[in-house]
């Protein structure tokens, strides 16, 4: 489905998928609560040559944090969680080693100071049913909580997942599925795996594609040194194999930071439902939305070593990872190349889901950004 005014977007999509770097992908855009672009192309599974279809889903890695945030905000909206309540009031053991004042808000806004673990958690142990809660409770903060911000690649999501379990008896994945019936998952059911587009891992291509801009210099240097806070944060979850994101057992666990799976149409529906009604359904109320998109953290990121901006759980435009097309966007990208965001000022929701690992970390994928720019040009 494609409204004629967005024909230029379809042309760019065609250049990127199949003919370009992405072997298969889908793009969905809502405007004023109505889908105006819903297109897909290419190969979903390069081994079997299965084509991408209308119902294809794919791992979205770090863009999972957008789903996590929606689940947490729904608990806030229901009065089950409170943003400025210390995590330790829900989970007493977390108070150890100077973490007693860390609030739910600080975790959502990457100000908790616990981005890494002295004892990393392995994906193999998660699949076996182990929890990272004990390691999180024992961890000493890397900086005084609340005084600075730094991206928490895994640990922030794990903290929020444990809090959800304490107050609801279920993890974030169940909270999400209870509220959303579209194609977005944290914890993939076995029967859904047949629709999955496995990620492609072009390691050498990935290395060559790393941005060379000066803003990425500190990141690029620190990521290869195992003792840096950046490397330790990225490795808080140690993968037992390179293509762990394609393992149905891992995707089924419901690891809340990067194991999410979604279709582009499901992601776009979710973000459209955050900023307005879609077929009579709205996920969060306007007052909570206003709080969600308000800047909470900005400036030099203690982990990523570049400028970043965050609202409540969502990335905000600003800095090299996501320059953005407007200052009113909010969303999240992933290393898979996925990018999903909403822009309430322009009544827009955007979701791009490919199956090719991106050249960089959350949000910096050139293909997704090129498509987003073309969408805004069509709206002008």
Using CA atoms, how far apart are residues 280 and 96, in angstroms rounded to an integer?
45
pLDDT of res. 361: 73
- pTM higher than 0.85 for the full model? yes
Beta-carbon-side half-sphere exposure of residue 303 (alpha carbons within 13 Å) = 29
Q: What is residue 314's DSSP assignment?
A: S
pLDDT along the chain (380 residues), means of 10: 96 87 92 98 94 97 97 97 98 98 98 97 95 97 98 98 97 93 90 94 59 81 88 92 90 96 97 95 95 97 96 95 93 94 98 85 83 96
Burial classification of residue 140, based on how many CB atoms lie within 10 Å of its CB (0-12 exposed, 13-18 middle, 19 or more buried)? exposed
Query: What pLDDT does residue 233 have?
Result: 96
Whole-number pLDDT of residue 380: 87
**Spatial separation of the C-alpha atoms in residues 149 and 299, rounded to whole Å:** 8
- Say if CB 312 and CB 73 are below 8 A apart: yes
Beta-carbon contacts of residue 328 (< 8 Å; ≥ 6 apart): 293, 343, 344, 345, 346
- Residue 27 makes CB contacts below 8 A (sequence gap 6+) with 9, 13, 37, 38, 39, 40, 264, 351, 352, 353, 371
pLDDT at residue 340, as a whole number: 97
**pLDDT of res. 225:** 85
Q: CB of 28 within 8 A of CB of 351?
A: yes
CATH number of the domain located at residue range(s) 4-379 in this protein: 3.40.710.10
Q: How confident is the model at residue 360, as a pLDDT? A: 65
Q: 335 and 362 in contact (C-beta within 8 Å)? A: yes
Q: Are 293 and 344 in contact (CB under 8 A)?
A: yes
> Can you give the pLDDT at residue 240?
79
Q: Name the token pair of 55.
A: 């119902």
Residues near 302 by beta carbon (within 8 Å), at least 6 away in sequence: 115, 142, 143, 148, 149, 150, 229
Spatial CA neighbour of 342 closest among 282, 261, 297: 282
pLDDT value of position 147:
98
Looking at residue 296, its pLDDT comes to 98
Max Cα distance, the chain (Å):
58
pLDDT on residue 249: 95
User: Please, what sign has the CA dihedral across residues 142, 146, 148, 152?
Assistant: positive
d(CA 341, CA 113): 26
Rounded to the nearest 10 degrees, what angle do helices 286-293 and 64-77 cross at?
130
CA within 13 Å, CB half, 38: 16
DSSP 23: S
């Amino acid at each position: 489905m494609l409204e004629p005014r967005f024909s230029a977007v379809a042309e760019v999509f065609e250049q990127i998928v199949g003919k370009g770097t992405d072997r298969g992908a889908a793009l969905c855009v809502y405007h004023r609560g109505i889908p105006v672009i819903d297109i897909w192309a290419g190969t979903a599974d390069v081994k079997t040559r299965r084509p991408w279809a209308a119902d294809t889903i794919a791992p979205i890695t770090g863009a999972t944090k957008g789903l996590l945030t929606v689940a947490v905000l729904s608990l806030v909206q229901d009065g089950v969680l409170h943003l400025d309540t210390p995590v330790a009031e829900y989970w007493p053991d977390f108070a150890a080693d100077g973490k007693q004042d860390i609030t739910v808000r600080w975790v959502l806004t990457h100000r908790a100071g616990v981005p890494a673990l002295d004892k990393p958690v392995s994906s193999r142990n998660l699949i076996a049913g182990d929890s990272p809660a004990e390691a999180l409770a024992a961890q000493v903060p890397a900086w005084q909580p609340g005084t600075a911000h730094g991206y928490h690649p895994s640990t922030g999501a794990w903290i929020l997942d444990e809090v959800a379990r304490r107050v609801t008896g279920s993890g974030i994945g169940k909270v999400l599925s209870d509220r959303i019936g579209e194609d977005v998952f944290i914890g993939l059911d076995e029967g859904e795996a047949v629709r999955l587009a496995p990620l492609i891992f072009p390691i050498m291509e990935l290395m060559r594609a790393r941005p060379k801009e000066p803003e990425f210099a500190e990141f690029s240097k620190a990521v290869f040194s195992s003792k840096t806070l950046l490397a330790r944060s990225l490795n808080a979850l140690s993968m037992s194999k390179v293509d762990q994101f394609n393992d149905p057992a891992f995707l089924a666990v419901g690891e809340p930071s990067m194991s999410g799976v979604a279709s582009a149409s499901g992601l776009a529906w979710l973000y459209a439902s955050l900023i307005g009604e879609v077929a009579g359904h709205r996920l969060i109320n306007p007052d909570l939305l206003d709080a969600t998109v308000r800047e909470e953290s900005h400036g030099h990121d203690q982990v990523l070593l570049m400028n970043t901006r965050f609202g409540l759980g969502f990335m905000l435009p600003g800095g090299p990872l996501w320059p953005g097309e407007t200052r009113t966007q909010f969303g999240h990208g992933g290393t898979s190349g996925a990018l999903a965001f909403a822009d309430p000022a322009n009544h827009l929701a955007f979701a791009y889901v490919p199956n090719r690992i991106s050249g960089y970390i959350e949000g910096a994928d050139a293909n997704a950004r090129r498509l987003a720019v073309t969408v805004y040009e069509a709206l002008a």
